[in-house]
C-alpha cells in the first residue's frame, strides 16, 4: 500500500448555463448500481439521489433538455466477463431508480459500454437540439461518468461535472477522475453552484 497525493484542482464556486443550450445527462442511476440487492452497488450512489433530484428540478423548471443513460446488457455480453452480470435488459436491476423516474417527454438512451456516446444516438440528439453544454451526473465517477465526459470534451461540448452528483467505488477513483476532469475536460463544481443565466 502506498499513498498518493491528489493534485489540487479547481472546484468552481458558480457555473452559469443557458438552459436552451444545455442538457442534463443522468448516467446509470439504475437499481443494480444504486439500490440494496443490486448486483454491482456503488457505495455512495444512493446518497447522490437528492442532489440529482435538485438538478432535475432545475433542468425541468428552466426548460433544459434531460437525457437519462441506461446501461444495457444481454446474454453473451463481454462486459459481464469483467464485472459479472449486471443491468440485464428488462430486469429490476436494469431499471432506473424510482426516485429519478424520467418524465414522458425525456429521452432515455440505452448504452452498451461505458461511454454514452459509443453506439448510441446521443450526439445526434444533442446537435439537433442545439446543445453545446452538458451537465453530467450519475455513477460511476471514474468509469461511465468519466468516459462520457471525455467523449463529450473530444466533441467540443462544454462539460460540467457536479462533484456531489456523482459516486464511485473508492475515494481514490473519485478524486483521480475529478482531477482529470478539472484539468483536461471541463469544470467541476457543486450541484447547488449551477445557476441559470449569463
Q: Is residue 115 part of a domain?
A: yes
Summarised one tens digit per residue, pLDDT across range 65-82 is: 999 999 999 999 999 999
DSSP 61-94: HHT-EEEEEEE-B-TT-THHHHH-S--BTTSTTT
Q: Is residue 119 part of a domain?
A: yes
114 and 143 Cβ atoms separated by less than 8 Å: yes
Q: Is residue 1 part of a domain?
A: no
Summarised one tens digit per residue, pLDDT across range 114-134 is: 999 999 999 999 999 999 999
Mean pLDDT of 50-58: 98
Mean pLDDT of 92-119: 97
Domain count, the chain: 1
CATH number assigned to the domain comprising residue 71:
3.40.50.850
Q: Is residue 37 part of a domain?
A: yes
The reported pLDDT for the residue numbered 198 is: 82
Q: Is residue 5 part of a domain?
A: no
Range of the domain at 62: 12-196
Amino acid at each position: 500500500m502506498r499513498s498518493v497525493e491528489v493534485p489540487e484542482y479547481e472546484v468552481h464556486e458558480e457555473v452559469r448555463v443557458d438552459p436552451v443550450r444545455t442538457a442534463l445527462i443522468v448516467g446509470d442511476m439504475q437499481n443494480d448500481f444504486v439500490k440494496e440487492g443490486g448486483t454491482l452497488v456503488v457505495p455512495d450512489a444512493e446518497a447522490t439521489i437528492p442532489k440529482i433530484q435538485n438538478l432535475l428540478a432545475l433542468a425541468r423548471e428552466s426548460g433544459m433538455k434531460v437525457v437519462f443513460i441506461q446501461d444495457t446488457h444481454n446474454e453473451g455480453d463481454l462486459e459481464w466477463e469483467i464485472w459479472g452480470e449486471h443491468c440485464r435488459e428488462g430486469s429490476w436491476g436494469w431499471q432506473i431508480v424510482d426516485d429519478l423516474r424520467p418524465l414522458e417527454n425525456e429521452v432515455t438512451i440505452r448504452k452498451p459500454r461505458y461511454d454514452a456516446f459509443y453506439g448510441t444516438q446521443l450526439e445526434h440528439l444533442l446537435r439537433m437540439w442545439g446543445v453545446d453544454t452538458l451537465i453530467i451526473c450519475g455513477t460511476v465517477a471514474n468509469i461511465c461518468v468519466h468516459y462520457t465526459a471525455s467523449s463529450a470534451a473530444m466533441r467540443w461540448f462544454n462539460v460540467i461535472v457536479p462533484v456531489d452528483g456523482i459516486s464511485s467505488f473508492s475515494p481514490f477513483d473519485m478524486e483521480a477522475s475529478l482531477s482529470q476532469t478539472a484539468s483536461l475536460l471541463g469544470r467541476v463544481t457543486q450541484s447547488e453552484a449551477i445557476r441559470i443565466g449569463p
